[in-house]
Amino acid sequence: MIGGAVFGDKKQVKVTPREEGSGFFHDWSHKTLVPVVMKATAGLLTALVHQHLGSVVKGFALVLGLLFSALLQLGLEGKELTIDQTFGTALVLLSCWLHITNPC
């Protein structure tokens, strides 16, 4: 017994040759790369903000992204914001205003 496993029964694993075009990227197209590249770019930009500007600027960028998403939801989809979203947006705008008008 090695590491809690018994190797008495040896089973043979049948390996079949890989079919042509059955790899990991087989069903990918150029449209598949769009979300992958966008996520990778967003990750790199987030890392650059952390490295050069710090967490406060990242917080503001996150807040602006949430506000932009809410406006897009309202404009493109025609869905009104929920009470929670409206209250949260108001709190975020208030906190941003307080931060800008009262520098440390």
Residue 14 lies in a domain: no
Residue 62 lies in a domain: yes
Residue 38 lies in a domain: no
Alpha-carbon Rg of the chain, whole angstroms? 25
Residue 73 lies in a domain: yes
Residue 32 lies in a domain: no
Question: pLDDT-derived band of residue 69, with 50, 70 and 90 as boundaries?
Answer: confident
Q: What are phi and psi of 17, to 5 degrees?
A: -65, 145
The two structure tokens encoding residue 42: 């967003």
Amino acid at 13: V
Per the structure, the complete domain to which residue 78 belongs is given by 49-101
Q: What does the DSSP 8-state code read for residue 79?
A: P
Predicted confidence (pLDDT) at residue 23 exceeds the cutoff of 80: no
Q: Would the CA dihedral through 9, 10, 13, 14 be positive or negative?
A: negative
* Number of domains observed in the structure of the chain: 1
The two structure tokens encoding residue 70: 């809410």
Predicted confidence (pLDDT) at residue 40 exceeds the cutoff of 90: yes
Residue 84 lies in a domain: yes
Question: pLDDT-derived band of residue 38, with 50, 70 and 90 as boundaries?
Answer: very high
Q: How many CA atoms lie within 13 A of 99 on its CB side?
A: 10
Q: What are phi and psi of 66, to 5 degrees?
A: -65, -40
Three-state DSSP at 5 gives: strand
Residue 66 lies in a domain: yes
Residue 30 lies in a domain: no
User: pTM of this prediction?
Assistant: 0.43
Average pLDDT in the chain: 78
